[in-house]
Amino acid sequence: MEPVSFQHTHSSTIKTIGIFGSTGSIGKQTLDVIRTNPSLFKATILTAHSNADLLIEQALEFFPQAVVITDTNKYNQVKLALEGKDIAVMAGEEALEEAAAMSCYEFMMAGIVGFAGLKPTLMAISNGKNIGLANKETLVVAGDVVMKMAAEKGISIIPVDSEHSAIYQCLVGEDKNPIEKIILTASGGPFFGKKPNYLVNIKREHAIQHPNWSMGAKISIDSSTLMNKGLEMIEAKWLFNLKPSQIEVVVHQQSIIHSMVQFEDGSIKAQMGLPDMKLPIQYAMAYPNRLKNDFPRYNFTKSAVLNFEPPDIKTFRNLALAIAAMHKGGNMPCILNAANEIAVYGFLKNRVGYIDMTEIIERTMATIPFIENPSLEEYFESDGEARSFAASMINI
Ligand code: NDP
Ligand code: MG
């Protein structure tokens, strides 16, 4: 006799996914998940900034209903390549918002990098879409506006950032139990243990190599400076409605524990696994289900040592600046983010030294007017002012 199976069966309806930033690290891994689960997911919108070649290749494999290329110089190339394929081709920054409002998808994978992801994500929320949020900058810049709109529309923002996905997973079934604190783990990045004088000579090619994760250029630099962890503290504050004092960062070099939640009885829950972004990506897409997969498993008996220590915020001053911005609130995280985006851009273009990035951010935070309760428009204005000021320091 066949054993009775109690395995959870998933509904047969296909979830339509709009992948904003499909040519990036998160976007490509989202497509990997879709490729292996074609009966569960279909990509119906794909967007890129300037990588037309990859966008075309993806479109010819997945046949979405629409593609967006924000760099208008690439429009003709994409249009020509997809002629007669029944795929709408759109171009320009506004087209991202237009696409975000389309009815051909139900779940947005927010995988654009930086401030550019904010407007399309807001548009998706206002159109009642659920969001898988990789783009942490969206919450750093305007977390209050985003979370308020999400609550009003009754949609879910499911984190994709591995730490926040870990916390989200730890909170399942704990609706009535307040969080005492969360513990965000940080790998420490490629310069863990280094002192300030070492940082002076760091070049792009050193900083871009992350020990545990393969990611886009901007987040790789942010991980090396620990700014990424600062942005994640602010992201967590909004996602889980926490006070700054409830958010702790611990360096855990192996990146096996992805983060932890401590409850009011002192019990701590952790979510663990090998570092692989496909797991939080597919968790967000399939939530509340877990999908069977063949990703490599963590083996406790092969690598039994897990270390933990406090972050060195004296050396990695970007984290100290982000913590200060989180405590200050208002438009300060927005200013921090804008200055950081410019500083990282300058560093990636070899126009700014590694430690100069911190100086640029610090001076921008000290210069742009503080607003305690900004409106969305004021966030946009602060972002613009902070960008111009930061750019004026590095001549870009
Ligand atoms: P990538 O740089 O690899 O990809 C960014 C994507 O956004 C690409 O599709 C890119 O298009 C597009 N893009 C870039 N600039 C613009 C713009 N101005 N307007 C519209 N689209 C744009 O980044 P990642 O995938 O690494 O990161 C994406 C987001 O996810 C970031 O916010 C990051 O912090 C977050 N995240 C990433 C993780 C990772 O493992 N990679 C982990 C946790 C969070 P094109 O390719 O044409 O340039
Ligand atoms: Mg992360």
The pLDDT tens digits for 115-140 are 999 999 999 999 999 999 999 999 99
Using DSSP's 3-state secondary structure scheme, residue 276 falls into coil
**Looking at ligand 1, which atom is closest to the CA of residue 222?**
34
The closest-lying atom of ligand 1 relative to the alpha carbon of residue 51 is 47
* Distance, CA of 310 to CA of 293 (rounded, Å): 34
Q: Rounded to a whole number, what is the distance in angstroms from the first to the last CA of the chain?
A: 72
Confidence band for 299, pLDDT divided at 50, 70 and 90: very high
* Mean pLDDT of the 358-387 span: 98
Residue 19: strand pairing partners: 46, 109
- Ligand 1 lined by 70 (C-beta under 6 Å): yes
Q: Which residue's C-alpha comes closest to atom 43 of ligand 1? A: 161
Average pLDDT over residues 155-163: 98
Looking up tokens 């204005």, which residue turns up? 381
Per-residue pLDDT band for 214 (boundaries 50, 70, 90) equals confident
Give the pLDDT score at 309.
97
Positive/negative CA dihedral, 338, 112, 69, 352 = positive
| Protein residue closest via CA to atom 48 of ligand 1 | 49
Beta bridge partners of 185: 250
User: Which DSSP string corresponds to 90-102?
Assistant: EESHHHHHHHHT-
Q: What is the pLDDT of residue 12?
A: 58
Beta pairing class for 179-186 and 157-159: unpaired
Q: For the purposes of burial, counting CB atoms within 10 Å of the CB of 193, is it exposed (0-12), middle (13-18) or buried (19 or more)?
A: exposed
Enclosing H/E stretch for 126: helix 118-126
For residues 204-231, average pLDDT: 93
- Report strand pairing: 247-251 vs 257-263: unpaired
Tell whether the model's pLDDT for residue 9 goes beyond 60: no
Measured in Å, residue 289 CA sits from the centre of ligand 2 at 22
Mean pLDDT of the chain: 95
The number of C-alpha atoms within 13 Å of 116 and in the hemisphere containing its C-beta is: 18
Q: How far is the CA of 179 from the centre of ligand 1 (A)?
A: 31
DSSP 3-state assignment of 101?
coil
Residue 1 has pLDDT above 50, yes or no: no
User: What percentage of residues in the chain have a pLDDT greater than 70?
Assistant: 97
Q: Other C-beta atoms within 10 Å of 195: how many?
A: 10
Mean pLDDT calculated for residue range 267-293 = 97
Which residue minimizes the CA distance to atom 18 of ligand 1? 116
- Of 182, 163, 141, nearest in space to 232 by CA: 163
Task: Give the Cα separation of 135 and 37 in Å (integer).
Answer: 23
Check pocket membership of 78 for ligand 1, CB cut-off 6 A.
no
- Pair type for strands 88-91 and 66-69: parallel
How confident is the model at residue 113, as a pLDDT? 98
Q: Which domains are assigned to the chain?
A: 6-159 (3.40.50.720), 164-328 (no CATH), 329-389 (1.10.1740.10)
- Report the residue among 33, 49, 72 best suited for mutation to probe ligand 1: largest number of ligand atoms under 8 A from its CB: 49
- Single-letter amino acid, residue 290: R
Whose tokens are 């006799």? That residue is 1
Q: What angle in degrees, to the nearest 10, is found between the helix axes of 227-239 and 217-225?
A: 100
- Please give the Cα distance from 229 to 188 (Å, whole number): 9
* Residue 223 CB–ligand 1 contact under 6 Å: no
Q: Which amino acid is at 286?
A: A
Q: Could you tell which of 157, 214, 219, 234 is best to mutate to test the pocket of ligand 1, judged by most ligand atoms within 8 Å of the CB?
A: 219
Residue 341 token pair = 């985006």
Of 19, 69, 112, 276, the residue with max ligand 1 atoms within 8 A of its CB, to mutate for a pocket test, comes to 112
For residue 50, which ligand has an atom nearest its CA?
Answer: 1
Give mean pLDDT, residues 33-49. 98
CB 140 within 8 A of CB 334: yes
Q: Which ligand places an atom closest to the C-alpha of 30?
A: 1
d(CA 202, CA 271): 33
Q: How many CB atoms lie within 10 A of CB 149?
A: 17
What is this structure's pTM? 0.96
Residue 5: the pLDDT is 45
CA distance 376 to 341: 19
290: closest CA among 9, 20, 4? 9
The answer to whether the CB of 383 is under 6 A from ligand 1 is no
Determine if ligand 1 sits within 6 Å of the CB of residue 219: yes
225-234, 254-263, 293-302, 334-343, range with the lowest pLDDT? 293-302
State the Cα–Cα distance between residues 364 and 387, nearest whole angstrom: 9
User: Three-state DSSP class for 99?
Assistant: helix
Tell me the pLDDT tens digit for each residue of 232-271: 999 999 999 999 999 999 999 999 999 999 999 999 999 9
pLDDT value of residue 2: 47
Q: Which atom of ligand 1 is nearest to the CA of 96?
A: 20
Enumerate the β-bridge partners of residue 271: 259
Residue of minimum CA distance from atom 4 in ligand 1: 24
pLDDT band at 149 (very low <50, low <70, confident <90, very high): very high
C-alpha 47 – ligand 1 centre gap (Å) = 11
Residue 346's pLDDT is 97
Is residue 8 predicted with pLDDT exceeding 50?
no
Instruction: Answer whether 258 contacts ligand 1 (Cβ < 6 A).
Output: no
- Pairing between β-strand 130-133 and β-strand 107-110 as defined by DSSP bridges: parallel
Ligand 1: does its nearest atom lie under 6 Å from the Cβ of 132? no
Q: Letter for the amino acid at 338? A: A
Q: What share of the chain has pLDDT > 90, as a percent?
A: 94
Q: Is ligand 1 within 6 A of the CB of residue 19?
A: no
Residue with tokens 């709109």: 149
